[in-house]
Structure 1
Amino acid sequence: MTRPARTVARLETSLTLARAASDRRSYSVSARLDAVLDDDHRVVLLDDRGWSTAGPVGTGERLDLAELEETARVVVGPDEPAHGRTHEEEARLHWSALADVLAGAGVASTGAELARLPHGVVLDERLLARVRR
Structure 2
Amino acid sequence: MEYDRVRIKLAAKAAVRRGSPRPWLVTLVYLLLTQALVSAVSMAVTLPVTLAAGANLAIRGHGGHISRGAASAASGLFLAVMVFLYLLAMLFTLVMQTGYLHYTMGLWRGRRTEIKDLFFGFHLAGRIIC
Structure-2-length-normalised TM-score? 0.23
Comparing both structures, which one devotes a greater share of its residues to strand? 1
- Between Structure 1 and Structure 2, which shows a larger proportion of helix residues? 2
TM-score w.r.t. the length of structure 1 is: 0.23
